[in-house]
Amino acid sequence: MIARKLGSFLLPLLVWSLVSYLPFIWHPKVQVEAPGGVDYFLPGMLVDREEFAQQSADMRQQGLALPTGVPANPIYLPAPHQVAKALYTAFTTEPEQKDAPWLHESLWQSIQIILWGFLLSSAIGVPLGIVCGTYQSVGRLSEPFIEFFRYLPAPAFGALAVAVLGIYDGPKIAIIVIGTFFQQVLIIANTTRKLEATLIEAARTLGTRGVRLITRVVLPGILPDLYRDQRILLGWAWTYLIVAELIGTSSGITFFITQQARYQHFENVYAAMLIIGVIGFGSDLLLGRLGHFLFPWDRTRDRT
């Protein structure tokens, strides 16, 4: 199962390697080794292939030293080994800029924001969603309002959140909560509504009433689907992270990435992206496995 999932990564990796290591496939640039007679060339500089050919021709005509160089890809496409090295150094050597956070510190910061935001949202969103889905009257009362709020883009609340909650982690967590909560209530209310009505009726004929209908029938009945919903919502929370981390004092993995991009350390950017992907994908895979283990009766699991 996992092997099959990893298999789907092989093809993109192969393409990336081919493009990086076989000069005749793409390599639209030339990395200058010796500038020769060209006054503005510097060693290590990347120039367009046409530009390099033009300059070489000019030098030959003028009888000056020819520049030398090797074909290269643009700066924004580092080779796999460069990214791998960046990944390694990111965890082993101090960051170049003083006071800059280590990669893992940035990551941990981001993960904390996500987890707090998601937990806070779930603490209210899940029960509210279940109640909305179970009792038609509650649903009809609250859902239109939530539906309205859902369409307001979470970033719009950024300035407000900063004004209310200060510039540190408070507003960032708030953005994750706002981005997750409204969807969460609607999705979970919907999941709850899809529970077979006869299960509730069967429970009622067996003497179940009141709160126990929710705790003993509705909740266990929707649990596998609820779990699936939460997995998807957690993925969404990650996308709101970018917005969240750009407001107030920018921080976390987004800060790390924008910093590295500014200094054109694209191998670091890719390393960070890779780690985010691995964490997101890995945790979802793990949660999926956990779901198999937790809900042995769930028959839809074979499809996911």
Q: Which residue has the tokens 């694209």?
A: 266
> Is residue 208 part of the contact set for other proteins (CB under 8 A)?
yes
Q: How far apart are CA 286 and CA 304, in angstroms?
A: 13
> Is residue 212 part of the contact set for other proteins (CB under 8 A)?
yes
Closest CA to 20 of 87, 88, 81: 81
> Is residue 140 part of the contact set for other proteins (CB under 8 A)?
no
Closest CA to 106 of 290, 283, 276, 295: 276
Task: Compare residues 113 and 217 and give the one whose CB is closer to other proteins.
Answer: 217
Among 123, 159, 199, 286, the residue binding other proteins under the rule CB under 8 A is 199
> Is residue 214 part of the contact set for other proteins (CB under 8 A)?
no
What is the number of helices (H) and of strands (E) in the chain?
12, 3
71 beta partners: 30
Span from 63-71, 120-128, 195-203, 263-271 in contact with other proteins (CB under 8 A): 195-203
Task: Compare residues 226 and 271 and give the one whose CB is closer to other proteins.
Answer: 226
Task: Compare residues 12 and 296 and give the one whose CB is closer to other proteins.
Answer: 296
Residues 218-247 that bind other proteins (CB under 8 A): 220-221, 223
Among 81, 140, 204, 289, the residue binding other proteins under the rule CB under 8 A is 204
- 140: which 2 tokens? 């009809």
Under 8 Å between Cβ of 46 and 72:
yes
Name the residues that contact other proteins, by CB under 8 A. 196, 198-199, 201-208, 212, 216-217, 220-221, 223, 295-299
